[in-house]
Structure 1
């Protein structure tokens, strides 16, 4: 089957790589540099196993800037378009996604159009009604950035927002792309599938906020946070996954889902999810004070890159904004920590802030501020 993948982000590329073992896959998007890189075999994906996977498998994969070319003859269309938050309307900006779906619907009538973006709950059914099409469905992805190819090849679950034959067909395609065929498949309603995505993200954000709160208590009361976490995580009901404190749940994905659900809970008597943002603010208040108390005159911020792209750490950005608001002079470094600029950076800074501990900082660990308690 020929499959068109609209999008050039890590979800789209990971889906394309997984599917290209068995299908002809054409990626498309308005980013010439990424299209050229994909066609040259220099895949813009940070996953460590990408090179081995490409070397060990024959992949029928290419990219194009021409949407019409990508959609021509497609038997299935996957769409992964980022949805930015609208700060004025407190919702999602779906115009770009709308246009991509409408284009696929027009050029590929009757072909399954699978939305992979994290859309608002109710979005897919509304679009189906507006376009009078039952060929549009939602299939959430559960990929981790930095491990997205691994998650595409070995998903923990496959969730399809369609109970009919269309959903069965799409589920079979995703299952066929996986290396392990013993994967639980759930075919449910569109709104339920959309809710699964957002509530799973919100759960992860809640868990991170919990361990951050624990760490904040430990910092305030002189308790060894790591020892506490190791003790409570011996309980199998809690476990050791996602138990490492940080500055806050960063990136766009967790924050976006929690914000969406918080707004959706306006008429529901709930307390946990609507207050996650407040927990994040309280965490940043404490961290800001902890950094200022160190009394550093020259403060550095280290942002590592992964696969040539800057790491997404919105919590670090928020902390930097607060520190600048206190009049602190900040020196920034973005890179892998292997150049002369980084050597000068370490020498010039009295204190270096980073979201996660990095081996490049090992020689100045005494002047690193980082709440990464379980650094590898």
Structure 2
């Protein structure tokens, strides 16, 4: 028996088969061009939903924002020394061991000696970085003033950036670094072992701006930090000293050292006199009444300590007597002080009367 099917059903079946065949052909053609084949799927990177597209920590500098200035000899006993220098006015640089301070003229050669007890690893470098000494300025970057940075003097024919304060003389391997994060400027040279017969390695530094320059250091004291570092920036040793760039290094060093010694002598004398005053009060006779209601009270602020500079030993001793007298007066009852003052006033009033009653001496030749 012959059955004839529905013509609409046959048409739908044919269209479905045609669509499936077309999709299979498209898939076979696109498969070779896709990078996500089964072989690539296993190695495709999986991105974390918590990953930040850009992070501040990805570009952090290995150098600290505020460099340390604490001396650290390290495993190689790193040392920084200077040749013996004088305080003559003609000196272009001089170093004060008393103050641990370098004085030098602008753009003049300053030899610094580097010493280690054992050889550091290969690739070790020496970095010199200036920082401000005081806490209120330590975050500022030490740079040259605009006048010296933009001027032609000391800048023409130089490979060093014009804004850098410290330069290295006579070393073509010197690298001038501007930290991309902290902005600190420094100069780095490879470490060289000392030559035969010597124990020091000498580096010649130049300081390219005066300490008094407006727009630059502007009289703010600076420290020069010298570090011994590995190739990847690990610090093996650190030394620091204060630096002053001025017109007359010898004169300024002498003035600073004299002021330092005067201050030390003043502090020592103040300490000794304070101890002597305490002993005198402890040994005072018991007849002196203790502080009570009859003794005048101290005014507010009288417990504060004040210091003053005195020029000359004789003047200092006079002022010390005045100081001791004032301190002893505080132990005397106020009625006794008032009585003493009344007696002094009465004596002053009676003196003109006595002078008037006394006969005047007659001089020879008077009639």
Settle same-fold status: TM greater than 0.5. no
Q: Which has the higher helix share?
A: 1
Q: Which has the higher relative contact order, 1 or 2, with Cα contacts under 8 A spaced 6 or more apart?
A: 2
Larger radius of gyration: 2
